Structure 1
Amino acid sequence: MTPSPDPRRFGDRKKDRIDALAQTTGSAGSAGRPGVDSGAQGGAVLTVADAGRVAGGEGQSLIASAWRRLRRNPVFLTGAAITFIFVVLAIVGPWVAPHDPAAQPLLNQVRQQTNPVPGAQPGFPLGGDTVGRDLLSRLLVGGRQTLIVGVLATLGGLLGGLTLGTLAGALGGWVDALVMRIVDVMLSIPGLILAVSIAAIAASPSQTTVIVAIAVVQIPIFARLLRGSMLAQRASDHVLAARALGVKPHAIVFRHMLPNSLGPVIVQATLVLATAIIEAAGLSFLGLGNPDDRQPEWGQMLGQAQNLVSDYPHLAIYPALCIIVVALGFTLMGESLREALDPKSRR
């Protein structure tokens, strides 16, 4: 009669095989890891910290990863350099300008028939305008007015868009439908035509009317973008967890949904700022800006030079180049930020 196998011996052999396999796996896994003794007879001992560590280094936040890419991006560095120079000159322009932009030191050289525009000369490297004012000083001081109009118009559009986008994305339902229909109507009108219409309604043209007109044009852009980001946040895990824990709705909106939806909106603001500068110059060119030319602005200077472009093109070329270069700087910086913060663009 054949004796039956001892179940205890079978269990011991199975246990020995499992222990040997675990020892082999632990030794192989620790061979390339610093700080772990791969030659130990008993295999590697993994701690809780080792179990949660990803091979290849520590993780990075989205902002840190974006900055690491941006500081090596020549497009971003070019745009940031242009923007920095523009902001610095706009701030210190009135102090570094060689002459008062409203003074007329070259008026005695203006001859309507023979010399309507004084040319370049010592102390006036770009010459003067039709009433004897220093062109370089007006360009330097005009940068501040252009920056003020662009920044305030962008902030106004951003605040209006944040309000409408938050209402639509947080409340949903009929509020979302109503806000989006208003936004669709505003987007159906070309931006420059809408801005011209709003500025023309004002009793008298001024810098304030330009700011308001451009801000209204930018509101639907921010509102639609923020609304889409907040709708994506409504279905996210952390929002569902907050609701399950009984967090109040307004706290969910302002502590969880809105802060996590502002990234694309802030990036878009840098792009809109370039558009606002161009639109402000367009309105001033059409005569809808500040009528007081004692406070120069690039678009205003461009409009005043339109009758002399054929004979004295530099009066229009200099302010036009300033507008183009500054808008290009903000555009390059904004596009680089968008690519750096977009996971789909990473390689």
Structure 2
Amino acid sequence: MPDPFDPKLDPQATITPGDGGASTLATSEGESLEKEPPPGGADGKPRSLWSDAWHDLRRNPVFLVSGLVILFLVLIAIRPGLIASGNPLSCNLAKAGQGSQPGHPFGFDTQGCDVYTRTVYGARASIAVGVCATTGAALLGSVLGGLAGFFGSWWDGMLSRVADIFFGIPIILGGLVFLSVVTSGSVWPVVGFIVLLGWPQISRIARGSVVTAKQHDYVQAARALGAGSGRMLLRHIAPNAVAPVIVVATIALGTYIALEATLSFLGVGLKPPTVSWGIDISNASTQIRNAPHMLLWPAGALSVTVLAFIMLGDAVRDALDPKLR
């Protein structure tokens, strides 16, 4: 009986190396992989977290709109004379409460001051308070929280208890008590108060980020290779733990601007002759029925500013959050 598996019976059935569907599929897959561009940027290198985030932010309309608004606000805060040629402290009581006039599109307030000029110049104090307070709170909170998360032990416990004390202070009540004894009406007492009550929130975010980053393999490898605590903290942990702090600080900046306006409205924040949106809103609150334009423009500028920073923070959070990728 002939062997059915004898290749002599069917020469075309001879199996040679490289034949078959698996070999053909592997060859086609290899060719397709060669045609695909390498992951990462145009140079073939993988993008870092920051370059990847910037790549997403440039295509986010929320970031572009809020960034342009903030850029405009910062510009007029630095050089208000670019769009307002008048003096915010120059007033004419004969025009008190009057509406829009040629050269004075926003009308006049109760003292006869130009509302447009005061609205433009009010951006300087509000932006200065927001930026300085956010910078101070972010630096103080990041340093204290980062050290607590890295070293742990009694330092972590002590910082947590101190932060709990500050969390228990109502921020408006604390501002009324703290700033009521300050006679200066400049921005620095308000900045100091906001930093005093704002650092605990950022410190907890920084602590959690450092604790998470400390468990990663690259940190353990650096420790095994003999890297010191300072090198690990500054070189390996801090760059990978700072993203949540940036997100929280960006959102908090808009909140701090609103807080400054609230404290100025209550009479314990900025004081005349400093020009502030909170002061103008406070002065216009009694004339809202007779002259609503006095309240509309500074309140609108404040709302747009706070909204722009909050939108910017949301866009940055979406770009830096790896869970959303």
Q: For this structure pair, what is the TM-score category when the shorter chain's length is used for normalisation?
A: 0.7 to 0.9
Q: Which residue of 2 aligns with 1:6?
A: none
Distance 1:179 1:262 in 2: 19
Supply the AA of the counterpart residue of 1:317.
Answer: L
The partner residue of 1:199 within 179, 190, 194 is: 179
Q: Which residue of 2 aligns with 1:253?
A: 233
Distance 2:177 2:204 in 1: 22
Q: Which residue of 2 aligns with 1:213?
A: 193
Asked if 1:69 corresponds to 2:48, the answer is no
Structure-2-length-normalised TM-score: 0.86
Structure-1-length-normalised TM-score: 0.81
The answer to which structure, 1 or 2, has the higher relative contact order (CA under 8 A, 6+ apart) is: 2
The structure that has the greater radius of gyration is: 1
Distance 2:203 2:212 in 1: 14
**Unaligned regions of 5+ residues in structure 2, if any?**
1-14
Distance 1:199 1:213 in 2: 8
1:1-347 matched pairs, under 5 angstroms: 24=24, 26-34=26-34, 58=44, 59-104=46-91, 106-107=92-93, 109-110=94-95, 116-293=96-273, 295-346=274-325
Distance 1:203 1:132 in 2: 26
Residue 195 of structure 1 contacts residue 217 of structure 1 at CA under 8 Å; is this kept in 2?
A: no
Distance 2:182 2:194 in 1: 13
Distance 1:237 1:18 in 2: 44
**Unaligned regions of 5+ residues in structure 1, if any?**
1-15, 37-49, 111-115
Q: Which residue of 2 aligns with 1:39?
A: none
SS of the aligned residue for 1:32 comes to helix
Distance 1:239 1:335 in 2: 29
Supply the AA of the counterpart residue of 1:28.
Answer: S
Q: Which residue of 2 aligns with 1:13?
A: none
Distance 1:232 1:74 in 2: 31
Aligned Cα root-mean-square deviation (Å): 2.6
Distance 1:204 1:303 in 2: 18
Residue 99 of structure 2 contacts residue 293 of structure 2 at CA under 8 Å; is this kept in 1?
A: no
Q: 1:318 to 1:289 in 2, by over 3 A?
A: same
Distance 1:139 1:101 in 2: 9
Distance 1:69 1:269 in 2: 20
Percentage of identical aligned residues: 35
Residue 196 of structure 1 contacts residue 213 of structure 1 at CA under 8 Å; is this kept in 2?
A: no
Q: Report deviation, 1:32.
A: 2.4
Supply the AA of the counterpart residue of 1:182.
Answer: V
Supply the AA of the counterpart residue of 1:183.
Answer: A
Distance 2:266 2:51 in 1: 44
Distance 2:247 2:132 in 1: 17
Distance 1:178 1:141 in 2: 43
Count matched residues: 308
